[in-house]
């Protein structure tokens, strides 16, 4: 807008405001911050005009912070701020017994699979990383068998980010308290598919709190439009090797769905 145009518009605005003076009484609440006069005295609109159409645009200094931020960087910043929130979280009683908050690990940008376990165990609590104990090593072997790995295309987290004492299942209220973090993690990393491990994660994510693992495993569900498979937890399979076969069946089904096992591998 050139100087002449701005001048004309400022005059027009001032004129319009003056002509609508009679209507302003009905907008006292909105305008009282600008006008201390009451009733019918002539009002001065100088400040209002200045606020709506400043006489001259303030000079803007070029700074490094005005460089465009890439979408991936914004996503990472948001993820890191969510992670920082979790680090200081005291929303449930598990904060009192944890050593570390175990937030998540792996590929954070559209992973092929997001794995959701139940909660951190002893090693995870000590190291602050999910699935690093025996069950975690076993999980890595499952993933490798269908061309997945936490280093490249898998993101791993749990329903609760703090260790339940004595590795008990997280209580429903603990899962509920922590769900906001999980929900946001899913939105931010945007996985192509979700793999729930064990009953606490499977019942939470399918919204079927009373279902057995046998009833949930091996079927596709959808969470917010994302295909989701449930299967047994690696720790359960280490305790009961008869679960190996159904787990392998479930993994193959997921892998075929994702095109990771071409040619009808079995
Ligand atoms: S388990 Fe989740 S909700 Fe509870 S204190 Fe840890 S981060 Fe917070």
3-state SS class at 98: coil
Asked whether residue 124 is domain-assigned, the answer is: yes
Asked whether residue 57 is domain-assigned, the answer is: no
Output the pTM of the full model. Answer: 0.73
pLDDT band at 1 (very low <50, low <70, confident <90, very high): low
Q: What percent of the chain has pLDDT over 90?
A: 68
Asked whether residue 30 is domain-assigned, the answer is: no
* Average pLDDT of the segment spanning 226-240: 98
What is the token pair recorded at 190? Answer: 């945007």
* Average pLDDT of the segment spanning 198-216: 96
Q: Which domain holds residue 82?
A: 71-257
**Lowest-confidence segment of 19-23, 115-119, 219-223 by average pLDDT:** 19-23
Asked whether residue 185 is domain-assigned, the answer is: yes
pLDDT score at 261: 79
Q: Which of residues 31 and 227 earns the better pLDDT score? A: 227
pLDDT band at 60 (very low <50, low <70, confident <90, very high): very low
* Average pLDDT of the segment spanning 233-256: 97
Q: Which of 162, 159, 160, 31 is nearest to 96 (CA)?
A: 162
Q: In Å, how far are 71, 146, 148, 229, 260 from 143, measured between CA atoms?
A: 29, 5, 5, 14, 11
CA of 226 to the centre of ligand 1 (A): 24
Task: Please report the atom of ligand 1 found closest to the CA of residue 119.
Answer: 1
- Protein residues with CB under 6 Å of any ligand 1 atom: 86, 89-92, 94-95, 101, 160-162, 174, 177-178
Q: Is 156 left (phi over 0), alpha (psi -120 to 50) or beta?
A: beta
pLDDT score at 91: 96
Question: H or E stretch including 193?
Answer: strand 193-197
Position 56 pLDDT exceeds 80: no
Position 42 pLDDT exceeds 70: no
CA of 40 to the centre of ligand 1 (A): 60
CA of 155 to the centre of ligand 1 (A): 19
pLDDT band at 61 (very low <50, low <70, confident <90, very high): very low
Position 233 pLDDT exceeds 60: yes
CA of 249 to the centre of ligand 1 (A): 33
**For 84-135, how does the pLDDT look when each residue is reduced to its tens digit (9 = 90+)?**
999 999 999 999 999 999 999 999 999 999 999 999 999 999 999 999 999 9
Asked whether residue 1 is domain-assigned, the answer is: no
Split into its structural domains, the chain has a count of 1
Asked whether residue 12 is domain-assigned, the answer is: no
Contact 125, 163 (CB under 8 A): yes
* Average pLDDT of the segment spanning 29-35: 48
pLDDT score at 30: 40
Position 191 pLDDT exceeds 50: yes
pLDDT band at 242 (very low <50, low <70, confident <90, very high): very high
Asked whether residue 241 is domain-assigned, the answer is: yes
Asked whether residue 3 is domain-assigned, the answer is: no
User: In CATH, what number is assigned to the domain containing residue 87?
Assistant: 3.40.470.10
d(CA 119, CA 131): 9
Tell me the pLDDT of the chain averaged across its residues.
84
């Amino acid at each position: 807008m050139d100087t002449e145009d701005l001048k004309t518009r400022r005059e027009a605005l001032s004129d319009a405001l003056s002509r609508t003076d009679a209507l302003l009484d009905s907008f006292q609440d909105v305008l009282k911050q600008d006008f201390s006069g009451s009733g019918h005295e002539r009002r001065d609109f100088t400040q209002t005009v200045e606020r709506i159409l400043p006489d001259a645009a303030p000079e803007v200094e070029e700074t490094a912070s005005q460089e465009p931020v890439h979408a991936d960087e914004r996503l990472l910043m948001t993820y890191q701020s969510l992670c920082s929130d979790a680090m200081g979280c005291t929303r449930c009683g598990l904060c009192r017994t944890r050593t570390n908050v175990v937030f998540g690990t792996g590929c954070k940008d559209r992973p092929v699979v997001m794995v959701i376990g139940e909660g951190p165990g002893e090693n995870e609590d000590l190291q602050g990383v999910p699935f690093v104990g025996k069950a975690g090593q076993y999980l890595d072997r499952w993933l490798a068998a269908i061309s997945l790995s936490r280093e490249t295309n898998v993101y791993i987290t749990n329903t609760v980010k703090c260790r339940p004492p004595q590795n008990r299942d997280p209580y429903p209220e603990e899962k509920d308290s922590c769900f906001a973090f999980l929900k946001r993690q899913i939105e931010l990393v945007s996985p192509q598919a979700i793999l729930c491990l064990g009953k606490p994660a499977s019942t939470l994510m399918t919204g079927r709190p009373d279902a057995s693992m046998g009833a949930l495993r091996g079927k596709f569900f959808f969470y917010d439009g994302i295909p989701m498979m449930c299967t047994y937890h690696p720790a359960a399979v280490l305790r009961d090797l008869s679960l190996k076969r159904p787990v392998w069946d479930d993994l193959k089904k997921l892998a075929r769905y994702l095109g990771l096992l071409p040619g009808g591998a079995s």
